[in-house]
Amino acid sequence: MKIKSQLMLAMCSLLIGCSSNQTKEPTEVVFTFGETAITAPINENSAFASTKETDKEKVQLSGKIQKQDADYIVEVEFISETKESKARHSYNSTVLVKADEPLVIGHLEDDEFIINLKR
């Protein structure tokens, strides 16, 4: 009987250990351009979209992610419009991203386009 209890404890420990190592899928996309950052939740269709408006600018982020082995293929579209000077910046690309690792995916003058998938 004692051996059964020890075997049962070992099996339970193994199952708990295996289930806790499951990696979570990303839940949001964070896009940074210079001093501007925007976050968009990822929906059940693997798409994301968000709009952020301040007194100075309006930014939009949208796209779709697709699992590729341990990484993700991200189709991203970013649009930034300033209200005062009517300047418009846009970025549209498809990139391979690792979750929770910020990735510089472009530059405009001294500003970087950075994408990050958060869990």
- Which runs of consecutive H residues, i.e. helices, occur in 1-119? 2-20
29 in Cβ contact with 63 (< 8 Å): yes
- Write the pLDDT tens digit of every residue in 28-53: 999 999 889 999 999 999 999 999 99
- Write the pLDDT tens digit of every residue in 59-112: 999 999 999 999 999 999 999 999 998 899 889 999 999 999 999 999 988 999
- Give the phi and the psi of residue 3 in degrees, each rounded to 5: -65, -40
- Give the phi and the psi of residue 62 in degrees, each rounded to 5: -155, 165
Q: How many residues does the chain have?
A: 119
